[in-house]
Amino acid sequence: MSSRTIDIREENWLHNLLPRVTDLARAAGRAILEIYAEEHPEVEYKQDNSPLTRADVASHHIIMDGLATFSLGWPILSEESAEVPFAVRRSWRYFWMVDPLDGTKEFLSRTGEFTVNIALMERSAPILGVVYAPVVDKLYFAARGSGAFRIDRGSHSKIRTACASGRTVRMVASRSHRSREEDLQRFVRDEEVCELIIMGSSLKFCLIAEGGADIYPRVGSTMEWDTAAAQCILEEAGGSLTDLDGNSMTYNKPTLLNPGFLARASSQEILPRL
């Protein structure tokens, strides 16, 4: 990991920060894979009944310790850290938003569709995002104004969303929330023109960002750390993420719960107005 000091007064400071964050995501991913290799990893359940494994905790500590070495002094909001009152958070300008293991249910069911998510936030919006899928060794990353990129088993490429006009709309839905499939169909005018893709974690956003899907509606609840890093990647690839009324998604709210949302590619001419 580079030890170069980051100076936010420099014009390209976000670009210079990205390699350090991607290295950190990979390190967390390696720790997750060590535990993933175990035949029966231990699991506990939090108060909201969501699963917690040693992989979540190991990744959390690697990221927390790694971000501290950056010497930038910015606070961190992680799914696995203690709750920070809004009275404290409301004054933050820059801060990190982290999901150490997005898709713990996918981890436990061994689909491989889980990720490490790290975002840098400015006020209420993500300005840098890194999503790493350790099982398939895919790394997605973006910084404000610099575009979105993917490294797939060593192959580096810039990614863009696809145009849906004139072909079947490819809608992606959560593997762990398929009971809401009927609700999702209201986002297209004709069910026959919709191809449904089932996938776990923030990889759904990344699939849209790289042109492999067109729309991801979510009517169920998510947390801010579930979407922040992937939103930056999607937007830099030409897509958008809004609430179901078409408003921009905002972060560091009094409650960190997201509203229902719609992630989409750059051109969705056959989709309905919300």
Give the 3-state secondary structure of residue 159. Answer: strand
Q: Is 17 exposed, middle or buried (0-12, 13-18, 19+ CB in 10 A)?
A: buried
Q: Which residue has the tokens 């404000």?
A: 144
Q: Which range (50-64, 110-124, 137-151, 165-179) has the least confidence? A: 165-179
pTM above 0.75, yes or no: yes
Q: How confident is the model at residue 254 (pLDDT cuts 50, 70, 90)?
A: very high
User: pLDDT per residue over 52-101, tens digit each?
Assistant: 999 999 999 999 999 999 989 999 999 999 899 999 999 999 999 999 99
- Residues 88 and 112: their CA atoms lie apart, in Å, by 36
DSSP 112: -
pLDDT on residue 169: 85
- Residues 165 and 207: their CA atoms lie apart, in Å, by 18
Q: Up-side HSE of residue 165: CA atoms within 13 Å toward CB? A: 4
Q: Is 90 exposed, middle or buried (0-12, 13-18, 19+ CB in 10 A)?
A: exposed
* pLDDT of 181 over the 70 cut: no
Give the 3-state secondary structure of residue 215. Answer: strand
How large is the angle between the packed helices 13-36 and 54-69, nearest 10 degrees?
Answer: 150
What backbone phi and psi angles, to 5 degrees, belong to 155?
A: -90, 120
Q: Which residue has the tokens 């894979």?
A: 33
Q: Which range (78-87, 92-101, 116-125, 170-179) has the least confidence? A: 170-179
Q: Which residue has the higher pLDDT, 130 or 270?
A: 130
Instruction: Show the domains of the chain with their CATH numbers.
Output: 13-159 (3.30.540.10), 169-264 (3.40.190.80)
Count of C-beta atoms within a 10 Å radius of residue 247: 11
Q: Which is nearest to 118 in space by CA: 133, 128, 108, 103?
A: 128
Structure tokens at 193: 């023109």
pLDDT on residue 46: 87
